[in-house]
């Protein structure tokens, strides 16, 4: 049975690598934010606007418990998921967890290029974004580091490197 959960900061490539990993293993791919959006017919931004971050975190935990029980999946969770409640311990208890680790500069570059609306960084100037990433990473790193495996994806920029991360994750998990 394959159950792999990718964790890491926004812009670390969880969705990109997760999709490629799932395809390589021949199992379905789930993205927790998408799952929440489907179940509640609301974007993450709408949920933040309507219920605040606290409301979102409650819902996120509930949905994590729903999806993480599925068998034979690759799941990418939100950047904040491991950092609330006992979510990281919960994920470790039932899955192979992988931390996609990236330097703040790489995260900032990916986030500036990204098209998705992310409520926590909406409207920030490049300088504010850099500062936010650095501060949040210090707080979040201890949670991410609890993952069973870590892959440094700082150099991930093209298709070959995505395939290379898939290979390295499979090698580490031995799957």
Q: Name the site residues for ligand S3P (rule: CB under 6 A).
A: 10, 14, 33, 44, 78-80, 118-120
Contact between 47 and 56 (Cβ < 8 Å): yes
Decide whether 117 or 155 has the Cβ nearer to ligand S3P: 117
Least separation in angstroms between CB 174 and ligand S3P: 27
Least separation in angstroms between CB 109 and ligand S3P: 15
Decide whether 46 or 163 has the Cβ nearer to ligand S3P: 46
Interior/surface letters 64-93, b for 16+ CB within 10 angstroms, e for the rest: beebbeeeebbbbbbbbbbbbeebbebbbe
SS3 103: coil
SS3 74: strand
Least separation in angstroms between CB 111 and ligand S3P: 8
Decide whether 114 or 171 has the Cβ nearer to ligand S3P: 114
Decide whether 15 or 24 has the Cβ nearer to ligand S3P: 15
Can you read off the two tokens belonging to residue 134?
């650095």
DSSP states along 137-174: HHHHHHHHTTSSEEEE-TT--SHHHHHHHHHHHHHHHT
Least separation in angstroms between CB 139 and ligand S3P: 11
């Amino acid at each position: 049975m394959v159950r792999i959960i990718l964790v890491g900061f926004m812009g670390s490539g969880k969705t990109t690598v997760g999709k490629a990993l799932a395809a390589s293993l021949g199992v379905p791919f789930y993205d927790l934010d998408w799952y929440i959006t489907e179940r509640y017919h609301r974007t993450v931004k709408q949920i933040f606007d309507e219920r605040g971050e606290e409301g979102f975190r409650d819902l996120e935990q509930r949905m994590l418990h729903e999806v993480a029980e599925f068998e034979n999946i690759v799941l990418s969770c939100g950047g904040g998921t491991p950092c609330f409640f006992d979510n990281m311990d919960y994920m470790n208890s039932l899955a192979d967890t992988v931390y996609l680790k990236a330097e703040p500069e790489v995260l900032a570059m990916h986030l500036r290029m990204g098209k998705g609306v992310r409520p926590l960084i909406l409207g920030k100037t490049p300088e504010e974004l850099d500062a936010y990433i650095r501060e949040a990473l210090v707080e979040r790193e201890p949670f991410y580091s609890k993952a069973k495996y870590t892959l440094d994806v700082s150099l991930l920029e093209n298709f070959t490197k995505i395939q290379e991360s898939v290979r390295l994750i499979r090698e580490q998990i031995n799957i």
